Structure 1
Amino acid sequence: MGTLKPLVIGDLVAKHPVIQGGMGVGISLSSLAGAVAKTGGIGIISTAQIGFREPDFKKNPLEANLRAIGQEMKKAREIAPEGIIGFNIMVATKNYASYVKKAVKAGADLIISGAGLPVSLPEYVAEAAEEAGIVLKTKIAPIVSTVKSAMVICKLWDRKYHRAPDLVVVEGPLAGGHLGFSREELKNLGVDTSEVDLTYKQADYDEEVKGIIRLVKEYGDKYNKKIPVVTAGGIYTHEDVLHQLSLGVDGVQVATRFVTTVECDAPEEFKQAYILAEKEDIVITKSPVGMPGRAIKNPFLKGVGEVPFRLEHCYQCLERCDRETIPYCITKALVNSAEGRTGEGLVFCGSKAYLATGLETVEEVMNDLVGEN
């Protein structure tokens, strides 16, 4: 049996120190999040274009997405009535405040927020509870990638809201999807941004993680509470988990490993893209909004820039998106993949997606991660 300690976030206690990372569009919804929560981890639903299956999504994307937040939370709760279930909400989302408030009102145990610094998150969750006439129980966690970004958010929340985070998620350079690093920062950490990750200065980033832990402890001491720190990015095996815990973190956030589970909300074609991927197929690409992202090389990515792109419909997804200059619509690209047309879409993944060899159950993955096989 494993001997890993539970992950404690205030009054929330997860049996296993494993948070399942939020993956949009349509990859981590109620089925995956509910299954992870049921096995003793923390299940996370991604709000990124969460309502893409709603009949009015194209016409009213905001309304469809907000409606789906409530629906997916309800279904996840039915799977894991006693489990810990939360949402990942990108700061870059257009109408960000509306998503946060809906998640609180839907009963989220936790909101994890990145893709920008969630400077106003405390304000939005407090307003949501007040509007709904409920006691605020939702825990909040910023995603940071450096000591500098952790310091900015902790200092700002301290000064403006007189509070500290309930949890801090440290997302490293081996993560999937949009990354919290510039291309220059990735290169400095030894990540080959032209093609595949050939080298990685793990020891250097380990020191960054330790610096974040020290900083977060200062704010925890100030507010007389324990603020757990979890790391994310490139965590696939039990050995990966043990390495992260050896740095002094309280838990890990794992996304890619859960994609190839039976319970994952992704279509079979998406899961097969992971299973069939070789190491050299995993590349750093540029998102339409300028951020580096990690994805599987496929016909869609090879064709970007070769064919003139004309935006036919705007799904109102990201705050900073120049419709005149984008090489493709990221919502359309991600929805295509979420609907099984992976050759016509963007397949985001973590650096170790190529390790997938077949489907597993969430319980099997969890047992392997925590060493209880």
Structure 2
Amino acid sequence: MNIPELKIGDLIAKVPIVQGGMGVGISLSNLASAVANCGGIGVISGVEPGFNLAHYHRNKFQANIDGLTYHIRKAKELAPKGIIGVNIMTALSNFEDMVKVAVKEKVDIIFSGAGMPMKLPELAKDSLTKIAPIVSSGKVARLICKQWDRKHNYLPDAIVVEGTEAGGHLGFSVEQLEDKENFSLKKIVQEVLEAIKPFEEKYARKIPIIAGGGLHDSKDIAEILSSGASGIQMATRFVATHECDASDAFKQAYIDAKEEDIMIIKSPVGMPGRAIRNDFIKKVYEQGKPKGIKCINCLKPCNPKETLYCIADALIQAQKGNFEKGFAFAGAKVYKIEKITSVKEVINELMEGLKNL
């Protein structure tokens, strides 16, 4: 098949792949710039990007602003001609401040999910930064378009549709995750395309759909592009690369993962999440709250008194390879990853495969 360019306004990605944002610290400037240099859209995670800074535990708020600023500048420096995005979860307690930082640093595009980013157009107005909500249904896509149209006279520059097989926090109930027939990515993409039609007609412009969740190879990509998506989002495939910002131990957890190791957990933020089973998860869910874990107040929905563990702390520990105190989120097809390679090799393999389909 012919490989389409992904056009988001005046942004044109030669490779129609958006690298999904992965926190904490899995996709920072190193991974994002590598993807951008290969023609895709590289994405920095906005979840606790200052976790490695010396003043993080003294002044977490400032450290995260400093961390995001640093990684946007670094990614732009490493990929001067590439497209750099930031993924900022609506559920973050410092959501608005992080968006303002991204806009100030002139990031190319902000992706925002884990809730409905109703204030995003207001925070990004009068800037060249594109904004793209992440949705899991046609209903949510319609709601966001309706609200943005009515309140801001603005439509999303793109919409990311994240399906049931994605890694990390998922916008579905456990029952929906098990209903493969009614909640396939292809079906959700078609529902979203239908839901946004009236808004596209009103504004006389197309909203590109970027779809992801469990995509692993060229055939997966071809199927989603043929269902009407303009591009795809891929995250898990980019973890086992030399350029990924995670520790070697984190990458090894992906390579070692078997299909039966992939599980759905209930995250402290009240959403299901897809993770790789390990001893930390077993202990937490069988024996209760571990000792010595303090809440670092990162997410709005989290209630420290009721949660079994601090999600941010667990992900920071895992990023560093300390799996006794943390775990790794991953997509449904992580078990298919067999070795560490480069971002360029991953993208070349996918694009060559597409050409031959």
What is the TM-score when the length of structure 2 is the normalising length? 0.96
* Paired position in structure 1 for 2:169: 178
Give 1:245's match in structure 2, choosing from 225, 229, 236. Answer: 225
Give 2:303's match in structure 1, choosing from 308, 318, 322. Answer: 322
1:207 is aligned with what amino acid? K
- What is the CA deviation profile of residues 258-302 of structure 1, one whole-angstrom value per residue up to 9, with x for unaligned ones? 000110001100000000010000000110111000000001101
Shift of 1:171: 0.3
Moved more, 109-118 or 301-310: 301-310
1:275 is aligned with what amino acid? I
CA contact (8 A) 1:241 1:370 kept: no
Shift of 1:163: 1.0
Shift of 1:74: 1.2
Shift of 1:370: 2.0
* Paired position in structure 2 for 1:44: 43
- What is the CA deviation profile of residues 9-67 of structure 1, one whole-angstrom value per residue up to 9, with x for unaligned ones? 00000001100000000000000000000000000000101100011111211110011
Give 1:366's match in structure 2, choosing from 343, 347, 352. Answer: 347
User: Are residues 202 and 261 of structure 1, via their aligned partners in 2, closer, same or farther at CA, if it must alter by over 3 Å?
Assistant: farther
CA contact (8 A) 2:110 2:130 kept: yes
- How far apart, CA to CA, are the structure 2 residues paired with 1:318 and 1:15? 35
* Paired position in structure 2 for 1:72: 71
CA contact (8 A) 1:69 1:106 kept: no
- 1:352 has 2:309 as partner: no
- How far apart, CA to CA, are the structure 1 residues paired with 2:228 and 2:7? 14
* Paired position in structure 2 for 1:137: 128
- How far apart, CA to CA, are the structure 2 residues paired with 1:203 and 1:147? 11
- What is the CA deviation profile of residues 328-354 of structure 1, one whole-angstrom value per residue up to 9, with x for unaligned ones? 011110010011112421200000000
* Paired position in structure 1 for 2:242: 262
- How far apart, CA to CA, are the structure 2 residues paired with 1:168 and 1:236? 20
CA contact (8 A) 2:250 2:328 kept: yes
Structure 1 unaligned spans of 5+: 127-134, 190-199
- 1:277 has 2:257 as partner: yes
- What is the CA deviation profile of residues 77-123 of structure 1, one whole-angstrom value per residue up to 9, with x for unaligned ones? 12110100010000000021001000111111000000011111101
- What SS does the aligned partner of 1:342 have? coil
CA RMSD of aligned residues (A): 1.5
What is the TM-score when the length of structure 1 is the normalising length? 0.92
* Paired position in structure 1 for 2:14: 15
- How far apart, CA to CA, are the structure 2 residues paired with 1:23 and 1:208? 22
Where in structure 2 are the equivalents of 1:211-226 lying within 5 Å? Answer: 211-226=191-206
* Paired position in structure 2 for 1:196: none
- 1:336 has 2:327 as partner: no
- How far apart, CA to CA, are the structure 2 residues paired with 1:202 and 1:252? 20
1:221 is aligned with what amino acid? E
- What SS does the aligned partner of 1:344 have? coil
CA contact (8 A) 1:311 1:328 kept: no
- What SS does the aligned partner of 1:225 have? coil
1:223 is aligned with what amino acid? Y
- How far apart, CA to CA, are the structure 2 residues paired with 1:314 and 1:55? 18
- What SS does the aligned partner of 1:365 have? helix
Moved more, 149-158 or 341-350: 341-350
* Paired position in structure 1 for 2:139: 148
- How far apart, CA to CA, are the structure 2 residues paired with 1:181 and 1:213? 19
- What SS does the aligned partner of 1:140 have? strand
> Runs of 4+ in structure 1 displaced over 6 angstroms?
none
CA contact (8 A) 2:47 2:88 kept: yes
Aligned length: 353
- How far apart, CA to CA, are the structure 2 residues paired with 1:64 and 1:224? 42
Identical columns (%): 48
* Paired position in structure 1 for 2:80: 81
Where in structure 2 are the equivalents of 1:150-229 lying within 5 Å? Answer: 150-187=141-178, 189=179, 200-201=180-181, 204-229=184-209
Structure 2 unaligned spans of 5+: none
